Structure 1
Amino acid sequence: MKQKFLSSLVILTTAAICLSSCSSKGSAEAAPAEETKTEEADMVDLSEDQFKTVNIQYGAVEDKNLSSIIRASGVLDVPPQQLLTVSSPYGGTLKNTDLLQGKPVVKGEVIAVLENPEFIQLQQDYLDYKSQLVYLKEELERQQELAKENVNAKKTVQKASSEYNSMMARVQGLKSKLQLININPDKINPGNISGRANIYAPITGYVTKVLVNIGKFVNANQELFEIVDTRHLHAELIIFEKDVPKLKIGQKIRFVLNNETKERFAEVHLIGREISAERTVRVHGHLLQEDKNLLPGMYLKAIVETGVATTTALPDKAIVQSAGKSYIFIASEEMKEEKKPDDADKNATVEKHIAFKRIEVTTDISENGYTEVILPEGFDRNSKVVVNGAYDLLSKMNNVEEEE
C-alpha cells in the first residue's frame, strides 16, 4: 500500500513539473511574438513605382543652431500702484455718482458725493477752535510782554503758552480730518458749512467695479469703486522650476492673447524669487508697446527667447503627426520580393518593395524650416531619414491598418 502511494506521488510531481515547464516556455515564446507584432505595425513598404511617384527623398539628422525658448502661459496684469480701491475714511449716505463699469475717469475728477452730519460738526469745531486759537495767541503775547516788565508771575506765562499749544494741536487735528474727506479748511467760513463731501478719482483710468448705489449708507473705509490704469499693463508669466536657470533680465518675450493671432512683444523685467506649490515661478514682463484696448486678466500664451543653442534637428517636412504623437520614417535595409503570377503567361514576375520604419520622436523648437527632435535611445545617426514623402508613408500605413 505504501509503495503504491509513493508511486502515485512521483507521477503527480512529474506532471506538475512538465506543466510548469510548458507554461514558462509558452510565456517566453509569447513575448518575442508581441515585440515582432509591434515592430511590424511600425513598418510600411512601397513598390518601386510607388517610390518614384511619391518622390521619396532622404536626409539625415543634423546639428542646427536654433533659438532656445521657454513656453509659458500667463495673464495681463497691472502693478499694484495702477489698481486702486476708492473708499472714504468716514461713513455716509451716497448722494450722487454716475460711475459705471468701463467708464473712463480723470485724476482729480469728482466721482461721488457723500453726506454725513458729522461733516457739519467737524467744520463747526474747526471754526470754533480756530477762533479760540486767535484769542489764545494774543493772550500769550500779552502775558509775555508783562513778564518782561516783571508784572506777572512766570507760571501765568506758562499757563497761557500751554493753552495756546493745546488749541493749536486741536486745530491742526481737525484740519487733517477735513482734508481726509476732501474739504479744504482754508475755504471754510460760517456761511458755507455743508454736510456733503466730494470723492475724487485718485488716478486716470477705467472703472472696473461699482459696489454702491445712490441712497446707500456706506461704512468708513468700505470699498466703493475700483479704478485701473491700463496704460502700464504687464505680462505675468508662469514659468516651471526647471526653466528658471535659463531666464535673464531683458530677454525677449513673444506672446499671443487668447482668440488672437497677432503677436505682441515684451521683455523680462523681474523674476520671482519664490517657488509655488506647483513648482512654478512668476515672471514679470514689460510690454514694449502699450495698447489702451487691452484689459487686465486677459489670458495669454508666451515664448521667452533665451538664446541660441546647438541641437539635433530635421526639416519640418520630415516630421509627421498622428494621434497626438510625432514620427519620422527611416529607410529599412529589408528588401521584400513578391511573386505575382502573370495572366498572359503563367510565369511569375518579381516585384521589389522598399521598406520603411516609423520612429516616434519628441519635438520642440521650430525655426527657419527646421524642428528640434529628441531621438529615442539607441537611434543610429547614420540612418537615412525620409525628408520628402513622409506624409505619403503615413497615409499608406493608416490605410493598411484600417483594412486590417
Structure 2
Amino acid sequence: KQLSFLGISTANMSPSTIKQQIAIVAPMSGYISKINFHNGMYAQSSISLMDIISSEHLHLELDVFEKDIANIKKGQKISYTVPALGQSVYYGTVEVIGKEFNINSKTIRVHGHLEGTKPTFLKDLFINAKIYLNNEESLALPEEAIIKDGANSFIYVANEKLNDKEIEFEKIAVVTGATDNGFTAVKLIDTIPDGMQIVTKGAYYVYAQSKAGELEHEH
C-alpha cells in the first residue's frame, strides 16, 4: 500500500523491474517556482519539496484605490499590458472584488480572469491594467485631429481633391470625452456633409492657416 502511495504499481513488479530511483508525479501541470530540497536531504512527509504554479488557473491581481472601488463591478472588461514582455495588449474580466482594505497602499485587491490570448506569465510579474466601467461605444479620433479654442472644441472635415481643385475645409463642433492611448472620444454636434472626410493629420496646420487668413483679411 505504501508503494501505491508513491505511484508504484505492484501488479507487474519483479526483480527485473525494481529500480533505485522513482519518479515523483506532480498533482497538476504547471511550472516550478521554488525548490525546497537538495541532494541527500531526507524528504519528510511534513516538508513541501517544491512549489508548483498551475498554468491552468492564472489570474490577475489588481490594486484599486479606495476612491475608485465603488465603480468596479463583476464582469467589467479589463485590458492590460506586461511591460517586461513588450507592449502587446491582453484582455480579461473582473471576477472577484476583495473585502480587505490595505491601509498602507490605500487600495483594495481585485481579481480578474484572463480571456483570449495569454502572455507568458511569471509569478508576481508587474502589469499595467485598465478596467472599463461600461461597454458603451463612441467615435474616437487621434488627439491631433481635435482643435481646442478656449472652451470650444472642433474638428476639420475636407472634401476629396478632384481635378486638382483646392481642397475645401469645414469646421465641425464636437464635445470631447475621455482620452486613452492617444485617442479621444468625441460626440459630433453637427452632421458631417456628404463627401467630406475627417482630417486626422495636420489639423493644427489648417487651423493656423485659417487664423492667418483672418488676420490678413482684417488688414
Check 1:308–1:287 CA distance in 2 against 1; reply closer, same or farther (3 A cut).
closer
Check 1:187–1:296 CA distance in 2 against 1; reply closer, same or farther (3 A cut).
same
Q: What's the CA shift string for 1:252-287, capped at 9, x where partnerless? A: 101111142111110111111121112211111111
Distance (whole Å) between structure 2 residues aligned to residue 299 and residue 285 of structure 1: 14
Indicate the residue corresponding to 2:159 in structure 1. none
Distance (whole Å) between structure 2 residues aligned to residue 367 and residue 195 of structure 1: 60
Check 1:307–1:180 CA distance in 2 against 1; reply closer, same or farther (3 A cut).
same
Residue of structure 2 aligned with 1:261, choices 84, 87, 90? 87
Indicate the residue corresponding to 2:112 in structure 1. 285
Residue of structure 2 aligned with 1:365, choices 173, 176, 179? 179
In the alignment, structure 2 segments of 5+ residues that lack a partner are 152-176, 187-202, 209-219
More helix by share: 1
Check 1:196–1:284 CA distance in 2 against 1; reply closer, same or farther (3 A cut).
same
* Per-residue deviation, 1:226: 1.8
* Structure 1 residue identity aligned to 2:204: N
* Per-residue deviation, 1:250: 1.0
C-alpha contact 2:142 2:182 (8 A) present in aligned 1 = no
Q: What's the CA shift string for 1:138-174, capped at 9, x where partnerless? A: xxxxxxxxxxxxxxxxxxxxxxxxxxxxxxxxxxxxx
Name the Cα RMSD after superposition.
4.3
- The structure with higher relative contact order (CA 8 Å, sep 6+) is 1
Residue of structure 1 aligned with 2:143, choices 309, 313, 316? 316
* Per-residue deviation, 1:235: 1.3
Indicate the residue corresponding to 2:130 in structure 1. 303
Give 1 or 2 for the bigger CA radius of gyration.
Answer: 1
Distance (whole Å) between structure 1 residues aligned to residue 23 and residue 99 of structure 2: 42
Indicate the residue corresponding to 1:274 in structure 2. 100
C-alpha contact 2:31 2:52 (8 A) present in aligned 1 = yes
Distance (whole Å) between structure 2 residues aligned to residue 367 and residue 205 of structure 1: 34
Distance (whole Å) between structure 2 residues aligned to residue 209 and residue 284 of structure 1: 23
Distance (whole Å) between structure 2 residues aligned to residue 213 and residue 366 of structure 1: 50
Normalised by the size of structure 1, how large is the TM-score?
0.32
Distance (whole Å) between structure 2 residues aligned to residue 222 and residue 291 of structure 1: 33
Identity of aligned residues (%): 27
* Structure 2 residue identity aligned to 1:297: D
Distance (whole Å) between structure 2 residues aligned to residue 196 and residue 256 of structure 1: 44
C-alpha contact 2:101 2:107 (8 A) present in aligned 1 = yes
* Per-residue deviation, 1:307: 1.6
Indicate the residue corresponding to 1:41 in structure 2. none
Check 1:187–1:236 CA distance in 2 against 1; reply closer, same or farther (3 A cut).
same
Q: What's the CA shift string for 1:286-328, capped at 9, x where partnerless? A: 111253733332211111110278xxxx9834999xxxxxxx7
In the alignment, structure 1 segments of 5+ residues that lack a partner are 1-174, 321-327, 332-362, 373-386, 393-404
Indicate the residue corresponding to 1:204 in structure 2. 29
Indicate the residue corresponding to 1:230 in structure 2. 55
Distance (whole Å) between structure 1 residues aligned to residue 102 and residue 88 of structure 2: 31
1:182 has 2:6 as partner? yes
SS at match of 1:388: helix
